[in-house]
Structure 1
Amino acid sequence: MLLVKKIISNISKILLILGFGYFFWLMLKITLEYIPFRKDVSFLMIKQTEVIERPEYLYFFYTHVYTSIFVLLSGFLAILRKDFRLKNFHKNAGKIYIFLILLFAAPSGIYMGIFANGGIYSKISFVILGCLWWFSTFKAYQFARQKKFKEHKQWMWRSFALTVSAITLRMWKVIIVYLFHPNPMDVYQIIAWMGWIPNIILIEYLITKKHL
């Protein structure tokens, strides 16, 4: 029985790594669309009002885009809790993750949320998401400093659940558009909330059930 559980656990980990690898590659491809630095590419094509009227918007946007891909990777490596035979690998991955979110990715995300597509409901959602992302990451940092590693682990999972909203948001978009063909602005309003609320509910459930 123990052998079966171990096999299932190992298979689950392999599937998790493969799944993350696939979606990380998709996110990397999106990020590479913004290299070199341009004002009229991909998502920015529908944000020309902000680009033209608010010169700082581009800096916040590119800060968010360029740091978030590293946040995604370092966060995943950190929650694996493996050193891969490299001294302090887990610890250093976590430091990179926390540093990038607290100083760059979350603040720029909050700013961008103020100008999100989809009207006031989308704006509220993305600003809340950014604030919760910053707060949960800060709590993870705080508990690590206090050497309360159980709490640190739980808050890291909360933070990472919000981090992967970049992926789940796009997954929900594909599903909703395929099934219901809604108005584009309606899509933004829906995925703005669906991108992160199910994630955090799942993590809270797993924490409550002591799986994390």
Structure 2
Amino acid sequence: MNSKIGGVLLRVAAMAAILWGTWLMILLSLPYTSFDPYIDFLNSKQLVYHIKTWRYSFYIHVFVSTIVLITGLLQFSKYIMFRKAQLHRGSGIVYIVIVIFLSGPSGLIMGIYANGGLAAQVSFVLLSLLWILFTGFAFYYATKRKFAIHGHWMLRSFALTLSAISLRFYAFLLATFHVHLHPRTAYILIAWLSWTLNLLLAEYLIRRKWIEKYYLGKLL
């Protein structure tokens, strides 16, 4: 198998994994459409559920998460980027608006009240702030038509977007392999791993000039 075929298979596998994770996120979100305060994750948030700011932030964050995942993924379709430019720009605008004005701020508020104490709260607050910041940089460099730098910041932003999936993946791994950790320790570990490893992978791809080679080769 040559490197080109291997690269294609790797990208297809990554896209399939993200789509599968997005589908699972939809399934996880559906129970909350009942607005039952005693369902699933909300059972652990009874001490803050009465706080309107937190409650509104929670439902906003949950219900727009799928839109962010899908529109973010569309940004990395080479076919859409070059053959459906309007869709690329339109979905990009939706992604940027939702992250900066809805998902990011709501995640920040939720992070302040996160389970797991200060260590987990710092992780989620930092994640939200970086998510908003990176997405803002992506928009800025797109308006300046500096597409390589725009791509770098979009990759960083989407890496943080995917923390919604990776957090649940790591929780699944700990449960599957019966890793014996105190629940609070496990939650703190997952809180940090969910986005730091994603960001490290994004930085690795940036250093390897993946955006330039795969997307912008014909333009450079």
TM-score where L is the length of structure 1: 0.92
- SS in structure 1 opposite 2:37? coil
1:102 touches 1:138 (CA, 8 Å); kept in 2? yes
1:81 touches 1:90 (CA, 8 Å); kept in 2? no
Residue aligning to 2:66: 69
Q: How does 1:12-161 map to 2 (within 5 A)?
A: 12-52=10-50, 54-83=51-80, 86=84, 88-161=86-159
2:193, 2:61 → 1: CA distance? 20
2:186, 2:77 → 1: CA distance? 33
Does the alignment pair 1:209 with 2:208? yes
Residues 13-54 of structure 1 deviation map (CA, whole Å, 9 limit, x = unaligned):
3222222221111111111121132322111111011013x1
Unaligned runs of 5+ in 1: none
- SS in structure 1 opposite 2:26? helix
2:206, 2:86 → 1: CA distance? 26
1:9, 1:189 → 2: CA distance? 34
1:152, 1:82 → 2: CA distance? 18
Unaligned runs of 5+ in 2: 212-220
User: Which moves more between the two structures, 96-105 or 170-179?
Assistant: 170-179
Q: In the alignment, residue 196 of structure 2 is paired with which amino acid? A: I
Does the alignment pair 1:165 with 2:153? no
2:114, 2:186 → 1: CA distance? 12
State the 4+ residue runs in structure 1 displaced beyond 4 angstroms.
84-87
1:198, 1:13 → 2: CA distance? 18
Q: In the alignment, residue 78 of structure 1 is paired with which amino acid? A: Q
- Shift in Å, 1:55: 2.4
Q: How does 1:187-198 map to 2 (within 5 A)?
A: 187-198=186-197
- Shift in Å, 1:144: 0.5
RMSD between superposed Cα atoms in Å: 1.7
Residues 85-123 of structure 1 deviation map (CA, whole Å, 9 limit, x = unaligned):
645111111111101000000000000000000010000
TM-score where L is the length of structure 2: 0.89
Q: How many residues align?
A: 209
- SS in structure 2 opposite 1:33? helix
